[in-house]
């Protein structure tokens, strides 16, 4: 019934979309003037006038007070050069739901400039919007589950990324990092008059141009139409495509809106900017030095993307600006702070958060058609400065986010020094993370990727109230972006107010006066394309002077890279507690969470997420393998940790030590597959120490004694075992649940529930999972040992031991309250695979606030626990080797199996009559298929050209047979085409014999043949 309704909806909406005219005027192409007057001298700069909220143009354009923050698109880069990738929250790098090692479409949402192998697949289970819609809702018979990442306002989120070409106090490069976010109220505003009018947003009537019923319009990720669809097409530049009123339009991802892109392509570009010797072939804001052709990527405006701070209103809210030209004295949070360098002061003073940005529009009360039908709008030369705007009878307005939200609801971004990272690597950075003094609990020193601690902002209370009537609804769909700019010191790129006092370049920023055309003397530009440089006289007069050719592309001096997250939700602080709902798979809201999110308290809420994707370190690159983010926390008493993670079921197939568990793809929730799986799953199980790889005892009894213990007794024993070593209770190692200090039963039960939920993911009571698997129970040990192959056992959708009964990669594990002082290590039992990959984490709880219970290592700056193998005190404190009751599972012989790869970690099973081998054996290498395709379907597949065994020979035979068949088909097809062509020519020649006026009856028979 649902699918029939959807089909009718699709047909109806498609018809309405076809009938709905696009109200925007048809584009009128215009060749820009061949000559324009620029500022007469390189150092005479058209200054930014803050009182008028916009740069004035002397016809020449905006002068030097705009930071040159990016340049040209490098179209043919074969390898990653300068890329930036978000790892937590998950960055898309323009991916969506493709199963490939490389993304399908680098033009889907934004211009990343990154390698196509980067990014993470869509955070969803395989299927259409009935499986999971844009809001993250999974609908079942009579209830709904939420499968979308969310963060509470006021909580701490660690943003983690890697960049390729260095940063920080690295003398090889200048580096700037800009972090921003946006939500629906800025990408699809409710009131048109607050923003520049466009075809889809005009007048004062309060409405959203793209919203359709309860469907998310923007930002949206895009939902596949079916399980085989990847939903990676670029959204058409039309209002009909922007409105999510059908299955087809809901496939399109959209961040910036159609109206915002229309404004971009109708507004005259800033012709006062330095473009070197590049030919910018657009008169509007689509053309930049980094994008001279004005290529469209999603609905992003290239000029806004490439330059920061931008001079016009933007849908992005600034979080932080990190620069290598920041003060050593601390973080700059106010422009007048003594900790602000001139560069940081400049960034804060010009942030759209507080600084009014100017735009030209019709006077209030007049129809928008005056603008939309004007010659300037039609010719893509809409006015970008006050003087030209008012001279042509229009009005100049100023807008800042402070105007929309109110002064108390929006703050300055902070500015700080970037972390040091070396060039030519996508790896770790050093120094403490910007945005933190190092004592707020998150260990960010030493060997970590670049990190920033973001305090999630409060949902604004709009001013006026009619700006957006439901801001909580608007903040249900947000996205975050990072821009990474690298530049050289070959020319002055910053305005005077961003430079240190007394610097020789303080008044020398390059502008349009320094641009050159092809064929001229290049005297004005400091750089030009691939120049020859002479290094002295030759060996003799006849041989000439010696010179070299430089690899210097002026569209990459400087250059900006970008990544964006999938959409997430920002939620209001809870004001009351609530119990867990196992059926809806919703965790409890404890009182400690309510208290910790109160701004008047000193306690904090930390979000612990999971980064990475399925595969080994080479297969995932330039993404990463699994880990927790943050992977170590130092907490004060009553701080709260929100464990939550997501992944994807659209990864390339990985197995054979490169990926663990299922469920399979496709997933019918009942039967297994012998193919490698694609799914990401994680859990949290507490350890004795991080250096160990088996968990602490959580059962409290031996399986051998199970038959003599009733359910109530087993439950009590397990409860005691959990409480004796978890951070969420005051119990000690030698106490029972009956004498755990002053903890009441409700706190103890809440602690046990969250620890068990973290470990087993509610697989036995998850209502959605039970409905999909028709109430089938998890497989027992005997069931699993009865499965005929290891791959089928690991991928079986009812194998709860591998977490496969969770049908979705998203899981909200709940809230763990820090109560007991000490170190508490944990790992993911599914993904932690010693010597292959490590997914472990650490929580340290202080006895009192900010005491020395949780010191960082003096050498590495890393918070870590003691290693019992080298520390006798730690060994005794962890109960020696422990008493974990582990049960032996069925062993599958891999080392002696010549039909599968056995070169890396293949197991060998003991049997009573093991024979001693005589003669030479050769290991079969695993076929990784790292670079292309969608992974390996066959588990432990062999590189077939080794010809080691019959399986290889069969595979080679298949490929050779296929090659022969294709060759034969090609020969036959070519002959048929040749035959058809000759017949066509013969018939055509016959017809030519009967020219006009000829009497065919008089022709001889020989002439008719």
Instruction: State the DSSP string of 619-685.
Output: HHTTS---EEESSEEEE-TT-EEEEEE---S-SPBB-TTS------SS--SS---SS-B-------E
Burial 135-167 (b: 16+ CB within 10 A, else e): bbebeeeeeebbbbbbbbbbbbbbbbbbbbbbb
Quote the pLDDT of residue 924: 75
How many other C-beta atoms lie within 10 A of the C-beta of residue 669? 18
> How confident is the model over 721-725, as a mean pLDDT?
88
Question: What proportions of the chain, in percent to the nearest 5, are helix, strand and coil?
Answer: 20, 15, 60
Among 443, 579, 285, 297, which residue's Cα sits nearest to residue 864?
Answer: 443
Vertex 663: Cα angle to 657 and 666 (nearest 5): 115
Whether the CB-CB separation of 250 and 242 falls below 8 Å is answered with no
> How confident is the model over 481-508, as a mean pLDDT?
92
pLDDT at position 444 over 70: no
Structure confidence at residue 916 as a pLDDT band (50, 70, 90): confident
Quote the pLDDT of residue 851: 80
Q: Terminus-to-terminus CA distance in the chain, angstroms?
A: 66
pLDDT at position 876 over 80: no
Whether the CB-CB separation of 268 and 57 falls below 8 Å is answered with no
Among 856, 803, 473, which residue's Cα sits nearest to residue 645?
Answer: 803
Tokens of 417: 């020094």
pLDDT at position 780 over 50: yes
Tokens of 88: 């937590």
Distances in Å between the Cα of 404 and the Cα atoms of 185, 186, 315, 398, 425 are: 10, 10, 12, 11, 41
Structure confidence at residue 986 as a pLDDT band (50, 70, 90): confident
Cis peptide before 675 (omega within 30 of 0): no
Vertex 336: Cα angle to 330 and 337 (nearest 5): 20
Whether the CB-CB separation of 12 and 4 falls below 8 Å is answered with no
Predicted confidence (pLDDT) per residue in 370-401, tens digit: 999 999 999 999 999 999 999 999 999 999 99
> How confident is the model over 923-938, as a mean pLDDT?
73
Structure confidence at residue 437 as a pLDDT band (50, 70, 90): very low
> How confident is the model over 877-883, as a mean pLDDT?
50
pLDDT at position 818 over 60: yes
Quote the pLDDT of residue 999: 52
SS3 997: coil
Quote the pLDDT of residue 1005: 52
Longest dimension (CA), the chain: 122
Quote the pLDDT of residue 849: 85
Vertex 918: Cα angle to 912 and 919 (nearest 5): 145
Cis peptide before 309 (omega within 30 of 0): yes
Quote the pLDDT of residue 65: 31
Structure confidence at residue 281 as a pLDDT band (50, 70, 90): very high
Among 898, 887, 889, 903, which residue's Cα sits nearest to residue 790?
Answer: 889
Predicted confidence (pLDDT) per residue in 570-624, tens digit: 999 999 999 999 999 999 999 999 999 999 999 999 999 999 999 999 999 999 9
Structure confidence at residue 866 as a pLDDT band (50, 70, 90): confident
User: Which residues have C-beta within 8 Å of that of residue 738, sequence separation ≥ 6?
Assistant: none
Q: What is the Cα–Cα distance from 328 to 339, expressed in whole angstroms?
A: 8
Whether the CB-CB separation of 604 and 670 falls below 8 Å is answered with no
Among 691, 727, 726, 167, which residue's Cα sits nearest to residue 441?
Answer: 727
Whether the CB-CB separation of 475 and 481 falls below 8 Å is answered with no
- At how many degrees (to 10) do helices 711-723 and 745-760 cross? 90
Among 391, 393, 395, which residue's Cα sits nearest to residue 358?
Answer: 395
Quote the pLDDT of residue 55: 31
Quote the pLDDT of residue 92: 97
228 versus 525: which is more confidently predicted? 228
Q: What radius of gyration, in Å, describes the C-alpha atoms of the chain?
A: 32
Specify the long-range contacts of residues 140-147, CB closer than 8 Å, at least 24 apart.
Answer: 140/767, 140/768, 140/771, 141/771, 143/583, 143/584, 143/767, 144/584, 145/584, 145/585, 145/586, 145/767, 145/768, 145/808, 146/586, 146/812, 147/646, 147/808, 147/810
Structure confidence at residue 647 as a pLDDT band (50, 70, 90): very high
Parallel, antiparallel, or unpaired: how do β-strands 150-152 and 569-571 relate?
parallel
Average pLDDT, rounded, for the chain:
84
| Helix ranges, 20-136 (H) | none
pLDDT at position 5 over 90: no
Tokens of 245: 């009123």
Structure confidence at residue 878 as a pLDDT band (50, 70, 90): low
Quote the pLDDT of residue 929: 58
Quote the pLDDT of residue 857: 75
Quote the pLDDT of residue 890: 76
Among 317, 322, 323, 385, which residue's Cα sits nearest to residue 354?
Answer: 317
Quote the pLDDT of residue 856: 79
Quote the pLDDT of residue 69: 34
Q: 564 φ, ψ to 5°? A: -140, 155
Q: 473 φ, ψ to 5°? A: -70, -40
Quote the pLDDT of residue 431: 61
Q: Which position has the token pair 């027992």?
A: 780
What 8-state DSSP symbol labels residue 183?
Answer: E
Q: Which position has the token pair 């399908």?
A: 104
> How confident is the model over 690-713, as a mean pLDDT?
90
Q: Which of 401-415, 522-536, 729-743 has the lowest mean pLDDT?
A: 729-743
Quote the pLDDT of residue 932: 65
Quote the pLDDT of residue 411: 95
Enumerate the β-bridge partners of residue 677. 654
Cβ-in-10-Å burial (0-12, 13-18, 19+) of 1008 comes to exposed
Q: Which position has the token pair 């300055």?
A: 412
Predicted confidence (pLDDT) per residue in 26-54, tens digit: 443 333 333 333 333 333 223 223 223 23
């Amino acid at each position: 019934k649902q699918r029939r309704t959807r089909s009718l909806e699709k047909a109806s909406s498609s018809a309405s979309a076809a009938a709905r005219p696009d109200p925007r005027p048809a584009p009128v192409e215009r060749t820009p003037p061949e000559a324009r007057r620029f500022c007469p001298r390189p150092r005479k700069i058209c200054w930014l006038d803050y009182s008028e909220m916009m740069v004035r143009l002397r016809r020449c354009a905006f002068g030097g007070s705009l930071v040159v923050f990016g340049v040209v698109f490098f179209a043919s880069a074969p390898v990653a050069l300068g890329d930036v990738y978000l790892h937590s929250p998950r960055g898309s790098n323009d991916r969506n739901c493709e199963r490939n090692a490389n993304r399908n479409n680098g033009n889907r949402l934004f211009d990343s400039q990154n390698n196509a192998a980067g990014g993470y697949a869509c955070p969803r289970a395989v299927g259409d919007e009935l499986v999971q819609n844009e809001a993250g809702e999974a609908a079942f018979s009579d209830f709904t589950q939420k499968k979308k990442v969310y963060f509470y306002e006021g909580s701490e989120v660690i943003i983690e990324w890697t960049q390729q070409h260095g940063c920080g106090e690295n003398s090889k490069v200048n580096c700037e990092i800009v972090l921003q976010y946006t939500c629906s109220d800025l990408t699809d505003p409710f009131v048109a008059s607050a923003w520049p009018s466009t075809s889809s947003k005009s007048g004062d009537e309060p409405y959203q141009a793209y919203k359709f019923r309860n469907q998310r319009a923007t930002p949206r990720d895009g939902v596949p139409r079916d399980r085989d669809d990847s939903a990676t097409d670029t959204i058409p530049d039309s209002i009909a495509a922007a409105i999510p009123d059908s299955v087809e339009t809901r496939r399109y991802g959209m961040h910036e809106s159609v109206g915002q892109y229309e404004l971009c392509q109708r507004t005259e570009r800033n012709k006062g900017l330095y473009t070197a010797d590049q030919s910018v072939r657009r008169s509007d804001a689509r053309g930049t030095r980094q994008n001279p052709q004005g290529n469209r990527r999603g609905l992003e405006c290239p000029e806004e993307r490439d330059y920061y701070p931008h001079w016009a209103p933007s849908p992005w809210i600034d979080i932080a600006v990190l620069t290598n030209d920041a003060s050593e004295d601390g973080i700059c949070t106010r422009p007048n702070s003594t900790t602000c360098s001139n560069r940081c002061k400049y960034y804060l003073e010009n942030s759209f958060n507080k600084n009014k940005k100017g735009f030209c529009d019709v006077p209030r009360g007049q129809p928008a058609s005056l603008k939309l039908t004007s010659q300037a709008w039609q010719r893509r030369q809409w006015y970008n400065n006050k003087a030209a705007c008012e001279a042509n009878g229009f009005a100049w307005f100023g807008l800042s986010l402070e105007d929309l939200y109110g002064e108390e609801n929006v703050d300055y971004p902070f500015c700080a020094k970037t972390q040091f990272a070396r060039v030519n690597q996508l790896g770790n950075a050093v120094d403490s993370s910007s945005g933190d003094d190092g004592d707020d609990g998150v260990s960010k020193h030493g060997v970590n990727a670049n990190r920033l601690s973001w305090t999630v902002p409060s949902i604004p209370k709009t001013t006026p109230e009619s700006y957006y009537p439901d801001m909580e609804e608007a903040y249900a769909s947000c996205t975050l972006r990072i821009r990474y700019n690298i530049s050289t010191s070959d020319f002055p790129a910053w305005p005077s107010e961003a430079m240190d006092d007394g610097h020789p370049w303080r008044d020398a920023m390059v502008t349009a006066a320094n641009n050159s055309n092809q064929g001229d003397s290049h005297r004005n530009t400091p750089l030009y394309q691939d120049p020859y440089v002479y290094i002295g006289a030759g060996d003799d007069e006849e041989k000439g002077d010696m010179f070299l050719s430089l690899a210097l592309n002026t569209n990459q001096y400087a250059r900006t890279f970008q990544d964006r997250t999938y959409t997430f939700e920002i939620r209001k602080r809870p004001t009351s507690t609530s119990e867990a709902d196992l059926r809806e798979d919703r965790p409890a809201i404890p009182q400690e969470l309510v208290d910790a999110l109160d701004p008047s308290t000193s306690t904090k809420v930390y979000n612990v997420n999971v980064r990475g994707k399925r595969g080994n370190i080479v297969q995932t690159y330039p993404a990463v393998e699994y880990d927790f983010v943050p992977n170590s926390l130092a907490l004060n008493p009553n701080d709260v940790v929100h464990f939550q993670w997501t992944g994807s079921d659209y990864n390339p197939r990985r197995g054979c030590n490169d990926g663990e568990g299922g469920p399979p793809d496709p997933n019918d929730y009942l039967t297994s597959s012998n193919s490698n799986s694609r799914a990401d799953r994680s859990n949290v199980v507490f350890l004795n120490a991080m250096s160990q790889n088996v968990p602490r005892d959580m059962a409290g009894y031996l399986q051998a004694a199970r038959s003599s213990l009733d359910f109530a007794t087993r439950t009590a024993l397990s409860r005691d075992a959990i409480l004796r070593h978890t951070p969420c209770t005051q119990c000690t190692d030698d106490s029972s649940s009956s004498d755990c200090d002053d903890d009441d039963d409700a706190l103890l039960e809440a602690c046990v529930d969250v620890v068990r939920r973290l470990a087993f993911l509610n697989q036995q009571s998850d209502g959605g999972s039970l409905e999909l698997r028709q109430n089938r129970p998890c497989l027992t040990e005997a069931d699993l040992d009865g499965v005929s192959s290891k791959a089928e056992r690991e991928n079986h959708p009812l194998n709860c031991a591998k977490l496969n009964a969770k049908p979705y990669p998203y899981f909200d594990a709940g809230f763990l309250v820090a109560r007991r002082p000490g170190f508490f290590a944990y790992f993911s039992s599914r993904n932690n695979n010693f010597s292959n990959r490590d997914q472990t984490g650490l929580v340290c709880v202080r006895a009192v606030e900010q005491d020395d219970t949780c010191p960082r290592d003096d050498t590495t700056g890393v918070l870590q626990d003691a290693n019992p193998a080298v520390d006798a005190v730690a060994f005794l404190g962890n109960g020696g080797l422990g008493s974990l009751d582990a049960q032996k599972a069925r062993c599958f012989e891999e080392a002696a199996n010549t039909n599968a790869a056995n070169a890396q970690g293949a197991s060998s099973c003991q049997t009573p009559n093991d024979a001693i081998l005589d003669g030479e054996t050769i290991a079969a290498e695993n076929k990784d298929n790292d670079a292309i395709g969608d992974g390996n379907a066959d588990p432990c597949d062999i590189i077939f050209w080794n010809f080691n065994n019959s399986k290889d020979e069969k595979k080679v035979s298949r490929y050779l047979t296929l090659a022969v068949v294709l060759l034969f088909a090609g020969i036959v097809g070519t002959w048929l085409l040749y035959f058809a062509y000759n017949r066509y020519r013969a018939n055509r020649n016959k017809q030519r014999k009967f020219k006009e006026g000829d009497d065919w009856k008089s022709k001889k028979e020989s002439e008719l043949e």
